[in-house]
Amino acid sequence: MWIGRIFGIQILLHASFLIALCFFALAGLLPQALILFSLVFLHELAHAAVAVLLRFPVEKIELFPFGGRAQVSFPLLFRPKAEILVAIAGPLWSLSLAGLFAYLRSNGILGSGQWTQLMIAGNLSLGLFNFLPILPLDGGRVLRAALSRRLGFRPATAGVARASRLAAILAAALSLVLWQLKGTSPGFLPICLYLFFAAKQEGEFASYSHLRYLLHKQEELRQEKVLLARHLVAEEATPLEKIITQFAPGSYHLVTVVSESLKIQGVVGEAQIIEALFQGGAQMKVLELLS
């Protein structure tokens, strides 16, 4: 459900978010739930702010019962360093807010009542939980971005997604065991279920991302009939990561590969480079695309 815009960014509520609010209201916990959801929104806004600072447009922020998602423009997937910065911005902001409220409480500026404690505990939990190295959490995105530089986006996403599903299954099993043996609350089980299916979706998204990029270029060409070709020249040992930083929207890129003596080795198209990024990683040398 669309609820508005902030700085041109669409703010959406997932249908499950509204259902969760109803359950919290029936349990008499609506004020606490609204505060926690507000903290999630600030967490996602931090992701969006860093993305905008790095010149990646943010399309929307969508809120779910167990978190949110700031949808950043597509090229971020091919910039591992930038994706890491955007991913860690949310947890760092949440932990910073927890520290700020704790400082204000310890100095008597804020009281030590229920609401202050909720702000501290909520931000602390949100920050630490999102640092876990599993998809779709921020720690998982950092791990995926780090691995994609060496393995490629698609293999890295598939590997981290598989490990994330396994982690969700083990966490659910542990929660059930503790529920039966210790009588603890099974309230963590819905979160495990959410993480399992979200990780599964992330794994499927890798192939979709590649197809989406190519379809986007095809759609551009179909609409415009002619796209401006931007010619780049790259030395044969140049990693793909460096080449894509020169890609610009609205153009199709052709890269002439040259040796150290400036002898032309061949020409590589943008689609080939994107395919190689998915399969071989950002550190792959452009010369390898000619073999």
CB-based contacts of 140, cutoff 8 Å, min separation 6: 132, 133, 134, 160, 164, 199, 202
Both tokens of residue 91? 């947890």
**Residue appearing with tokens 């065991």:** 177
What CA–CA distance (Å, rounded) separates 116 from 82? 34
What CA–CA distance (Å, rounded) separates 38 from 42? 6
Q: Of 6, 100, 81, give the one whose Cα is nearest residue 49.
A: 6
What CA–CA distance (Å, rounded) separates 181 from 193? 21
Element at 13 (helix H, strand E): strand 9-13
Half-sphere exposure of residue 29: CA atoms within 13 angstroms, side-chain side: 11
Both tokens of residue 121? 């505990």
Among residues 44, 62, 83, 270, the one annotated as catalytic is 44
**Residue appearing with tokens 């010619």:** 231
**Torsion angles phi and psi, residue 13, rounded to 5:** -110, 125
SS3 101: helix
Catalytic, 44? Answer yes
CB atoms within 10 A of CB 135: 28
CB atoms within 10 A of CB 89: 23
Return the active site residues: 44
